[in-house]
Amino acid sequence: MFRCSARINEAIPPEYHTILKKLFPDEINNKIKPTIESVMEFADALGIKTEYQRMLDSNKKAMAKFLEHFQNNLDLLIQKTWIEKADEGKKEKLQDRVPGFIDVIEQGSYQDALAEFGIILDELAYLLFGSQSHKEDFTEYTLRIDTQMGLFWWYGGKLGTSLNNCTDKPTLRALLLIGICYLTNF
């Protein structure tokens, strides 16, 4: 998963600190979970609030259609990456992983889906940014490119470390939808 250096708080623009603190509270054993309101604030910071709200309130049929759009857009992103010949297999492996990920979401296993999503994001970051994605300053690097993109990769890095004890399905679903909405509109 992505590494975040100790300088990350300095790299994130100050106007986002309150939103990010509420999204992944720094409490011992994660006894405080993010609220739907804090997730909605983060969606707004990413520029996906309208789409996110629509998907958060969607029915099963609308979600299935949205996941189809997600898969199509992710396939396009993966196909358009320029990588070394030796890494071509990574593209195929990532594309093969997505249908299983969608099945886990449709089963409502959001904790498992978030774990799988973290792996997908890690592999996608490598395809998009190469070895830079494994460096300690990756999040700061993406923040310099674009604030919203940097916030998204910050979120991706937090998924694997901040939700270990969260079992609240609506919260897990809300956090998962953030990433799916962002990548669908990337």
User: What pLDDT score was predicted for residue 2?
Assistant: 46
Residue 151 is predicted with a pLDDT of 94
Q: Tokens 């986002």, residue?
A: 16
Flag whether 19 is in a domain: no
State which residues of the chain have pLDDT below 50.
1-3, 28
Q: Which of 89, 94, 156 is nearest to 123 (CA)?
A: 94
**Residue 95 belongs to a domain:** yes
Under DSSP, is residue 137 helix (H, G, I), strand (E, B) or coil? coil
In a domain, 24, yes or no: no
Domain for residue 3, yes or no? no
Read out DSSP for 145-164? H-HHHHHHHHHHHHHHHH-T
Q: What is the pLDDT of residue 119?
A: 93
Cα separation of 95 and 102, whole Å?
Answer: 12
pLDDT at 11: 81
pLDDT of residue 175: 92
Answer whether residue 56 is part of any domain.
yes
Domain of 108, in residue numbers:
36-184
Contact 52, 43 (CB under 8 A): yes
Domain contains 16: no
In terms of C-beta density within 10 A (0-12 exposed, 13-18 middle, 19 or more buried), how is residue 153 classed? buried
Report how far residue 132's alpha carbon sits from residue 60's, in angstroms, rounded to the nearest whole number. 38
Residue 154 lies in a domain: yes
Domain presence at residue 66? yes
The count of structural domains within the chain is: 1
- The amino acid present at 150, given as its one-letter code, is G
Name residues whose C-beta falls within 8 Å of residue 65's C-beta, 6 or more positions apart in sequence.
none
Instruction: Report, in angstroms and rounded to the nearest whole number, the Rg of the chain calculated over CA atoms.
Output: 16
Its pTM stands at: 0.88
pLDDT of residue 28: 46
The per-residue pLDDT for range 20-48, each reduced to its tens digit, is 888 877 654 555 678 888 999 999 999 99
With both helix axes pointing from N to C terminus, report the angle between 49-56 and 60-79 in degrees, rounded to the nearest 10. Answer: 140
